[in-house]
Structure 1
């Protein structure tokens, strides 16, 4: 999928979200989706504020809009070349949101993974 969209992994910045995204994804507990993942691209300003979130490969429904809004308000931290919380302008991060289907008594849920 990445090759078909000419996406290359060259960024060496270590990003971490500040522990809120997992909690925000809890609202999707019990959801039913056909696709197992969505990939979104975050573009950052130098101070790690989010400039843009773009869908690379989504779930193809209104869930994508909700996920993009959640990602847009997520706060991030980084480490790059000895500097904390400062990155080159327009740095990008790919984030995967994965759908984990219901298993026995456990409801389905969404989880994140940084690419």
Structure 2
């Protein structure tokens, strides 16, 4: 039951986040009339919504797998799902920030 609620929360976060980003996009576009000025913030808003929603979905998968009697097969499936979602999260983060998660935000400061 808890896993399903987290799945629902993840879907709601993605949907609401995308709607909010779209509303902000339309508002900015109407004010500026320059697509190039508003496109990047729109993509970043949608990307953030997807990233947060994916966190909820992964948590739901983990809880469902642990709550039901865990078998090697269910844990293996969970590992595959988490690996795919982790790859998606990292890809989205690179797309949003233009750097790997372990890289410094300041290009002058080595890590």
TM-score, normalised via structure 2 length? 0.30
| Higher strand content, 1 or 2 | 1
| Higher helix content, 1 or 2 | 2
Q: Which one has the largest radius of gyration?
A: 2
TM-score, normalised via structure 1 length? 0.29
